[in-house]
Amino acid sequence: MMSTRGNLATLLLVLSFFSGMGTLQKLAASPQEGANPPAPPNTQVEYITDPSFNNMQAIAVTVPEKWHFQGRLVETGPIPSIPYFVFRATSPDGLSKVERLPRLCWVWGSGPHMQDTPRACVRLQEPMSGEVFLKNLAGVLKVEYVENVPIPDEQQAAAQRNAQSQDRNWQFFTVKNTAELATAAVRFQNGTFAMKGLLGAVVDCKETDYPGRRPGPYQPGSPPSAVYRCDAGVRYLTAPEDQFEGVAAIWGRPGMGGQMLRQWDYARGERIHQWGEAQNRAFQAQLQLQHDQFEQTQATQLRMHNEFLATMQRGTDLSMARAQAGMQARSTATSDWVDYALGQQTVRDPGTGQLSKVSSAYSYTWMDSSGQHSFQTNDPNADPNATMTGNWTKQVVTHGDGSQ
């Protein structure tokens, strides 16, 4: 169990987690507009860009000073929509980490409209609460689930009010929205370091009711459908046990995490407004790029969801028991997921053991003797030692955490 002081630090972190995981606050595009709140002291602001808008700055992410940052937008639909952002922030010593994982989704229900649900979502037979979701996720991550961390009632109520404000009654169907916040404390062993972690999830669920249709002279009838879909956004903090309270306090300050830039939000809104109307090639090229990004995202989500579903089928208790004996698999799962979302792969120098994050678009990577310059290719016979200056070593592809 956590100490009282630890619970206070965790509560601060919980509040910070959820302030940047639901509807993002919209910031001005530049300091001159005067809408950006000042960043907390000893922090730095990193930007995630949108390649479909010529790498326009889209999300501003405030992280602790000197932390290493990587981030990317992940498309959530094949047509213009608001993308989801994924990031990884790592402390200078590499021991503490905050990751915003790709979204996971699950569906259940009945009727013919179940066929329209995304193929990347896990199929369930009944609802799953946020707490149960995090218990299963802990099994996927191969960590020990310690306890549920209660969410203040006013925060749960605010999330629910925000969700219900999006309820809609359309001509042919009705949409009802709910939201649940959940957090869980976890722990694991990283070599000689006893590690603590906090999983924070926002679970947004949507119930869509479609009335049945009577058969007509030109079309068959259909039974009613009730389709339920839940999407979970997860942020995950880990740190050595003796540093956890300090790291939690740093990330618990107001303003930490991601915030949407107003200029990008406006540009996305214009794109959605123009959907189906514009015919020029430049606009179509932007849409194609977004569609390609979405297809890449689907491959990532399918892998994540297959692992999640397999863990549920094995049983959470069995997974948690294995977790205590298999720490290595823990970091493999999360780091692989985030690597895939960021379009990266991890390679290791067989001589020095140095790990490097490089593009996943190439099959072969070479690194020079300084460890700072890389050469990537899809040609298995290419050798930069014959054409470029310096000594180059072919790298070995590993899991995201460097394991074989």
The pair of structure tokens assigned to 1 is 């169990």
Place of tokens 């390649």: 51
368, pLDDT greater than 50: yes
The domain segmentation of the chain, as residue ranges, is 4-335, 345-398
Check if the beta carbon of residue 362 is closer than 8 Å to that of residue 377.
yes
pLDDT in tens, 378-394: 888 889 998 888 899 99
Distances (CA, A) of 344 to 66, 349, 361: 22, 16, 8
Banded model confidence at residue 307, pLDDT cuts 50, 70, 90:
low
Strands 355-359 and 344-348: antiparallel
CA distance 102 to 116: 22
Contact 203, 151 (CB under 8 A): no
105: helix, coil or strand?
strand
Q: What type of residue sits at position 46?
A: E
Taking only Cα atoms into account, the Rg of the chain, rounded to an integer number of angstroms, comes to 23
The pLDDT tens digits for 249-292 are 898 888 888 888 989 888 887 776 766 555 455 555 555 665 56
Whether residue 23 has pLDDT greater than 50: no
Give the E-state strand segments of 83-173 in sequence order. 84-90, 97-100, 104-110, 122-123, 144-148, 168-169
Predicted confidence band of residue 197 (pLDDT cuts 50, 70, 90): very high
Task: Return the closest-CA partner of residue 81 out of 362, 287, 372.
Answer: 287
Average pLDDT score over residue span 334-338 = 68
Using alpha carbons, select from 100, 295, 331 the residue that is nearest to residue 202: 100
> For the segment 161-186, what is each residue's pLDDT rounded down to a tens digit?
988 998 888 777 899 999 999 999 99
pLDDT at 66: 94
Q: What is the pTM of this model?
A: 0.68
Give me the chain's average pLDDT, please.
78
pLDDT tens track for 81-134: 667 888 999 999 888 999 998 888 889 999 988 888 877 788 888 888 999 999
Query: In this model, does residue 34 exceed pLDDT 50?
Result: no
Please, which residues have CB within 8 angstroms of residue 341's CB and are 6 or more apart in sequence?
Answer: 72, 74, 86, 101, 102, 297, 300
Backbone angles phi, psi at 11, to 5 degrees: -65, -40
Q: What is the DSSP string of 330-366?
A: HHHHHHHHHHHHTTEEEEE-TTT--EEEEETT-SEEE
Q: What is the pLDDT of residues 134-166, one digit of tens each?
A: 998 998 888 899 999 988 888 889 889 988 998
